[in-house]
Amino acid sequence: MFAIGIDFGTNSARAIVVSCADGTAIGTGISDYHSGDHGVLTHPSDPHLARQNPADYIGSLSHAVTAALSQAEKTPGFSRADVIGIGVDTTGSTPLPVDARARPLSIDPQWEGHLAAQAWLWKDHTAADEALAITEIAKQHAPHYLAPIGGTYSSEWWWSKIWKCLKVAPDVFDAAASWVELADFVPAVLAGVSDPKDIVRCVCAAGHKAMYSDEWGGLPSKEFLARLDPKLAELRDRLYDRAFAPGMPAGNLSVEWARALGLKPGIVIAMGGFDAHYGAVGSGIAEGTLVKIIGTSTCDCAIASTNVGNVPGICGVVKGSIMPGVYGIEAGQSAVGDILNWATELTRATESTESTEEMHRRLSGEAAKLRPGQSGLLGLDWHNGNRTVLVDPKLTGLLVGLTLHTTLGEIYRALIEATAFGARAIIDRLREYGVPIERVVCCGGIAEKNDLFMQIYADVIGQPMLIAGSPQAPALGAAISAAVTAGVFDSWAAAQQAMTSVKAKRFVPDPAAHAVYDRLYAIYKSLHDEFGNVANANLGSVMKELLKIAAEAIDAPRQTS
């Protein structure tokens, strides 16, 4: 038996056909979005705007799955008739307005070119004022809405974006029969849903981004929404009453899509979910296992079988958001790979012919020659603000310990270390609130490609760093969801046991390096708390302590590893 997983990323969709026996991908298809700049619609006068053309999703869905199936057919024993279900993961929060027949509003020629009628991509930041207002109003009138999402509502999320649309394009708002997250939209398309009321909504998007909770009867009350705008209160009736955990079907494959893809009509369409959450499933998440999806930014996922309550600075804790019956916990760092990319681009000479990849390789090579602490540098990894645990976008990066001898390789290493300290701060916070973390599995390009990065993380965190077996963990997780939903497995654990793996290569902490990083982390924490405005540390000895650690690092016997 086989399942299909489809991952809708920021620039393209990727489909895989996987064996339910062992999770092997026997077919892969990738389809770039055609509109805008690599699939992103932008506006010259507003750098915060990032939209997508919903037609791209449907086009890429078809192309990617078709390509994956064609490749799968080269494997002996595979038949399209053996595909038992389809799972979908997407970016989010990426809401789009739909018409009365559950079609994207933008397919109507009237709205076709209107930016507000498109999908509002996760990284669209036009709704900053709305996010601030929602946070303020919730703090005053309904603080419980904010508790599971870390205390601060984001400009990237559902209500901020829809409210912004109402303000800047009331005609679009009025024309929308409903709004839907991309994660719920694609399954509804595959299932042939033709009424917004029939779209099955996942609690993953609802709980993390739309302030949904069964505890308070679903979405925020009409009374609360009316405080934002009466029209948002009216919209509530046209949205949904319940959202669901993965494991139940979002629908069954429509006759039209079955014909188009050459699959059996009626096979299960799994609940949609966010890429990070299904990536966690595909990386083997379990209680005690933290999955880190490391890319330009990082998303950290954990689960807990009992309610850990609200963990300050963690946005958020939502029952069923990753797997049914357990609390899904999501945290993250606003920039990780992006900080390293910034460091390379910052120093690119005009006439340089070196590729970004080559620069990363060269700087990693220089950085790898250094011992922990040797550079005397320490950084704060807040170049794009701090998501977890400070939940404050108005923070910036810092570097201390600079001398006239400081090299770029040293700075590059200090930046990796800074992100590793940020990662450790998240783990510390989770543990502090009773989330067990005994195992760390990483996925994403950096985890697979940058050994220095991974070793530093192991040494800083003091835990082995494992790498997910599949380089396509989100799509694999979506396929697992389809397999479970189709009844191929009795349990999620059984499905993960069969279909996920970790690579043999793992990064084990070096005790001597870990000891040095413990000292550096203590300094990082004092800077973190002082500049993050959560404590008044005394930083008068920071520079001397860093110089001392550096002097000791140079004198220390060279490690054998």
Task: Give 129's contacts (C-beta < 8 A, 6+ positions apart).
Answer: none
Q: Which residue has the tokens 């195992």?
A: 439
Per CB under 8 A, the list member of 543, 552, 553, 556 interacting with its own copies is: 543
Q: Which is nearer to its own copies, 42 or 407 (CB)?
A: 407
Cβ at position 38, least distance to its own copies in Å: 18
| 227, 277, 383, 413: which one binds its own copies (CB under 8 A) | 383
464 to 503, contacts with its own copies by CB under 8 A? none
Nearest to 527 by CA among 541, 548, 507: 541
Binding to its own copies in span 404-463, by CB under 8 A: 404, 406-408, 411
- Residue 526 interacts with its own copies (CB under 8 A): yes or no: no
Contact residue for its own copies among 45, 79, 306, 353 (CB under 8 A): 353
The torsion defined by the Cα of 263, 477, 185 and 4, in degrees rounded to 10, comes to -10
Residue reference for tokens 């690092």: 553
The yes or no reply on residue 338 touching its own copies (CB under 8 A) is yes
| DSSP sequence for 448-480 | HH-HHHHHHHHHHHTS-EEEBS-TTHHHHHHHH
Per-residue b/e over 509-524, b at no fewer than 16 CB within 10 Å?
Answer: bbeebbebbebbbebb
Is beta strand 249-252 parallel, antiparallel or unpaired with respect to 378-380?
unpaired
Nearest approach in angstroms of CB 360 to its own copies is 14
Select from 46, 533, 554, 559 the one that contacts its own copies (CB under 8 A).
533
Q: Nearest to residue 381, comparing CAs of 516, 528, 514, 521?
A: 528
Is the bond into 434 cis (omega within 30 degrees of 0)?
Answer: no
When asked if residue 339 is in the footprint of its own copies (CB under 8 A), the reply is yes
What number of chain residues touch its own copies (CB under 8 A)?
46
Which residue stretch of 154-162, 391-399, 438-446, 489-497 sits at the interface with its own copies (rule: CB under 8 A)? 391-399
The answer to the question of residue 561 lying near its own copies (CB under 8 A) is no
346 binds its own copies (CB under 8 A): yes
Three-state SS at 532: coil
Residue 45 contacts its own copies per CB under 8 A: no
Tell which one of 98, 317, 542, 549 touches its own copies (CB under 8 A). Answer: 542
Query: Per-residue contact track with its own copies, 206 to 245, x per CB under 8 A?
Result: ----------------------------------------
Q: For residues 322 and 343, which CB has a smaller minimum distance to its own copies in the complex?
A: 343
Taking CB under 8 A as the binding criterion, the range among 205-213, 397-405, 489-497, 512-520 that sits at the site for its own copies is 397-405
Does 360 participate in binding its own copies (rule CB under 8 A)? no
532 in contact with its own copies (CB under 8 A): yes
Smallest gap from Cβ 368 to its own copies, in A, equals: 17
Instruction: Determine the straight-line distance between the first and last CA of the chain, rounded to whole angstroms.
Output: 44
Rounded to whole angstroms, the Cα distance separating 141 from 138 reads 5
Minimal distance, residue 333 CB to its own copies, in Å: 13
200 touching its own copies, by CB under 8 A = no
Q: Which of 75, 307, 352, 491 binds its own copies (CB under 8 A)?
A: 352
Choose the binding region for its own copies from 141-149, 276-284, 462-470, 540-548 (rule: CB under 8 A): 540-548
What residue type is 500 in one-letter code? T
**Is residue 109 at the binding interface for its own copies, with CB under 8 A as the rule?**
no
Quick one: which segment of 7-15, 152-160, 283-291, 525-533 binds its own copies (CB under 8 A)? 525-533
Q: Does 538 bind its own copies (CB under 8 A)?
A: yes
Least separation, in Å, of the C-beta of 539 and its own copies? 5
Name the residue with tokens 């062992």: 22
Beta strand residue intervals within 295-385, DSSP E: 298-304, 317-319, 327-333, 378-380
195 binds its own copies (CB under 8 A): no
CB-count exposure of residue 351 (10 Å: 0-12, 13-18, 19+): exposed
Tokens of 79: 């038949």
Query: What distance in Å separates the CA atoms of residue 554 and residue 465, rounded to the nearest whole number?
Result: 26
Among 139, 530, 553, 556, binds its own copies (CB under 8 A): 530
Q: What is the identity of the amino acid at 99?
A: D
Only one of the segments 6-14, 69-77, 343-351, 462-470 lies at the binding site for its own copies (rule: CB under 8 A); that segment is: 343-351
In sequence order, what are the beta bridge partners of 49?
none
Residue 402 binding its own copies, by CB under 8 A: yes
Closest CB 354 distance from its own copies, rounded Å:
7
Query: CA quadruple 78, 81, 84, 90: dihedral positive or negative?
Result: positive
CB 188 within 8 A of CB 197: no
**Closest listed residue to residue 207, CA positions, set 170, 242, 258:** 242
Q: Is 244 helix (H, G, I), strand (E, B) or coil?
A: strand
> In the complex, what is the shortest distance from the CB of residue 352 to its own copies, in angstroms, rounded to a whole number?
5
Least Å distance between CB 131 and its own copies?
16
Structural contact between residues 418 and 367, judged by C-beta atoms closer than 8 angstroms: no
Residues contributing to the site for its own copies (CB under 8 A): 335, 338-339, 342, 346-349, 351-354, 376, 382-384, 394-404, 406-408, 411, 530-534, 536, 538-544, 546-547
